[in-house]
Each structure stands twice: as C-alpha cells, then as structure tokens.
Amino acid sequence: MTGNLIAILLAGALVGYLLFSFIRAGRRSSRPASSHTKVLTDSNFREVIRKGVTLVDFWAAWCQPCRIQGPVIDEVADEVGDKVNICKMNIDENRKTAGMLGIRSIPTIMIFNNGKPVKTLVGLRPKTVLLKAISEYVRL
C-alpha cells in the first residue's frame, strides 16, 4: 500500500515538473527575436550563406525542443551577430532546402563557411557549445 502511494506521488511530481518545464519554455520562446537574427527561405538561402560564417537553426513551430533552442539562437545572435550570420529556417515552410541538406531531425544547427557546410549539430545545444563551434571558423 505504501509503495503504491509513493509511486503515485512520484508520478504526480514528474507530471508537475514536465508541465512547469513546458510553460517555462513557452514563455522563453515568446521572447522577441534578436534584430541580429535573419530569417532564411528557400529563395534567399544560397545568397545569405555564400560569404563568411553562417549559423543556421533549422526548426519547426510544432517542435518543442526547437521552441527552447530558438531563444538560445537569439542570444548567440545578440553576442556575435556583427561577425557571423545567425539565421533561422522553418523547415515546414522551406522543404526544398531542408531536403537538399538532408535535415531529418530538428532542431538541427548547421554552420557554413563561404557557402560550404562545415559543422552539423543535432538536438538542443547550449549557448556555450554554439559559441565554441562558431569560434572554430571565426575569431570571436
């Protein structure tokens, strides 16, 4: 009997924690995008990544991890947006480019150097990891 009560309490605590995490992530994702973040489309993708170092966050609106990653991308843009192109591309609206690059999981973050893909990160990544990845190609 006591074991069942403990299991129910633990399950309730887990559900409460998950609910709190989703609400908190939703609040973070409603943060205004950085003025340094560019929105990419199938039509402007090649032109934007052509020169210099570009970080692209491939995401979708229905993806909860993407909603968590988005504000992190904006923080990176605020910090290094004058040296690096920091971009976001909605894969649901831009299927051609996502297909061409073989994007299968999101969030996927790709770094391009003069138009060529040089690094791919799949899944949620903290700001420190993104800055380190960028610093391999440009001095921050």
pLDDT tens-digit readout, 10-47: 666 656 554 455 555 444 444 457 889 999 999 999 99
Q: Specify if 140 maps to a domain.
A: no
- Indicate the pLDDT class of residue 81, thresholds 50, 70 and 90: confident
Tokens 């992190």 label which residue?
A: 72
pLDDT for the residue 54:
97
Domain that includes residue 24, residue range:
1-30
Give me the chain's average pLDDT, please.
87
pLDDT at 96 over 90: yes
Same domain, 20 and 78: no
Residue of 63, 118, 121, 122 marked active site: 63
Residue of 56, 66, 109, 133 marked active site: 66
pLDDT at 123 over 70: yes
> Total domain count for the chain?
2
Indicate if 87 belongs to the active site: no
Question: For the domain that residue 75 is a member of, what is the CATH number?
Answer: 3.40.30.10
Indicate if 63 belongs to the active site: yes
- From residue 32, alpha-carbon distances to 21, 28, 86, 110, 128 in Å are 20, 9, 15, 22, 21
Give the mean model confidence (pLDDT) for residues 63-70.
96
**Model-level pTM?**
0.77
